[in-house]
Amino acid sequence: MPQGIANQKMHHLPILQHPDRRLRIKASLVEHFDEKLADQAEKMLATMYDAKGIGLAGTQVDFHQRVIVIDVSENRDSPIKLVNPEIELIGETVSNEEGCLSIPGVYDSVKRSDRINVSAQAIDGSALEMEAEGLLAICIQHECDHLDGILFIDHLSSLKRKRINEQLKKTPE
């Protein structure tokens, strides 16, 4: 691999912060599976790990294509890259505390399915099917929401959203 590409892959991407309107853009289907897409996914992973996150959607780094990266492993050594993911809810609805790299410092309880089926493509375009449960299922749902322009705070009551937005306005940059 040429040196320039290796250095480029370690480049971290800026994460958009709420209320940036670009977080509300619905991502497009990925149609081209090439080195550029693979490089973008690697940059997203590096950015996610650096930010101490467990998931990151293309939308959060101003890349409006349907790509998410996730690693919920304890050792941070089991990255998952999903392109054009579609989910089917198959589990019980549970409440879990969620946070978001695009809304730092804000955590609240969100109801999601504890088990899902996922149909997606790998970075090379090959078909990928999996069942996910627990934290992985919740994280995939959270990241898929981002691809549709939905933030986790959109699942909260309007009063909670209003308080969070007021709190964020008071927080110095």
CB count within 10 Å of CB 109 equals 13
Give residue 113's pLDDT: 98
Catalytic residues: 143
User: 154-171 pLDDT, tens per residue?
Assistant: 999 999 999 988 888 876
Quote the pLDDT of residue 8. 41
Cα separation, 63 vs 104, in Å, equals: 20
Quote the CA–CA distance of 102 and 112 in Å, as a whole number.
19
| pLDDT < 70: residue spans in the chain | 1-11, 171-173
Closest C-alpha to 48, from 75, 79, 24: 79
**pTM (whole model) above 0.85:** yes
The rounded distance, in Å, linking the Cα atoms of 81 and 72 is 12
pLDDT given at position 169: 80
The pLDDT of residue 31 is: 97
Span 140-154, pLDDT tens digits: 999 999 999 999 999
**Amino acid of residue 52:** K
